Amino acid sequence: MMSRAALLIVVVALAGCGATGAGGTSTSTTASSSKSAVQSPSSGAIPHGRPQAVEPTAGVQPVAATPSDPVGDVNAHAPSLAEVKRELQLALVAAPPTNAGYIDPLQYVDIWERTDQGVDAAMPVGAPILAPCKVKVLAIIPDWYAGQPLVYFELLDGPDAGKVQYVAEQITEIATAGSILQQGQTIARYAASGTGIEYGWSTPSGVTLARATTGYEEGEATPAGLSMRAWLNSLGANAGSG
């Protein structure tokens, strides 16, 4: 009797471990299949992750910039002004003014420098130049000054919608030409080497506003540059009078 009872207990235990569900599949196999179905990217059950970049604090040296620095291609040649003008005209949205506000695109500047065609500044390596509002990246000039690039972008919101701005020189990881960036997204990052950055107003013709209006001599403060410094200060940049 004891032997038969022990045998019965073993049989019941084995049946419990491999119990089948209604469809004839073991419970353990069904659970494994369900888990696979939930984790499969093709099922659409799990949304895509949204990695967040860790931005540096102003004045603090973050992780070194990408190995692509020094910036730009030293063998690159800027396209002709006619080609730049054609690219900009094709890319322009001509957005109408709105009541939307702007954010300071140069929040990580730790040294404000001179006013010339635009405003010159220095930042910690890797710090982002932010989109002040929704913008469209119009064109990238690979060799604008000393082998360093310039990127044009159009403001698509706010009172200055339709106007063109640029940031140039010591920049890397530039957003792709033609891309639309939302307010606060990164237009470019401060590179590990170069001549600092210049941020200013441009014209749809590809000429900086300073050159198009009053002309420009190296190091000369221009009305266009002073206008940009005032615009940045209105956003809380505390850029001084330049």
CA distance 152 to 88: 8
Specify the higher pLDDT residue, 64 or 134. Answer: 134
Give the mean model confidence (pLDDT) for residues 177-188.
97
Architecture of domain 81-234: Distorted Sandwich (2.70)
CA 215 to chain centroid? 32
Look at residue 29 and tell me whether its pLDDT is greater than 60.
no
In whole angstroms, how far apart are CA 93 and each of 34, 153, 184, 187?
A: 48, 10, 20, 18
pLDDT at 47 over 70: no
Of the given ranges (13-17, 31-35, 72-76, 98-102), which has the lowest mean pLDDT? 31-35
Of 79 and 9, the structure prediction assigns the larger pLDDT to 79
Return the minimum-mean-pLDDT range out of 123-137, 169-183, 202-216: 202-216
Mean pLDDT (the chain) is 74
Q: Residue 158's closest CA among 200, 104, 101, 230?
A: 101
pTM over 0.75: no
State residue 207 phi and psi, 5-degree precision: -100, 135
Average pLDDT over residues 67-90: 53
Domain coordinates in residue numbering, the chain: 81-234
Assess whether pLDDT exceeds 90 at residue 183: yes
Q: Which pair of tokens denotes residue 220?
A: 């000369």
The alpha carbon of 237 is separated from its chain's Cα centroid by a whole number of angstroms, namely: 19
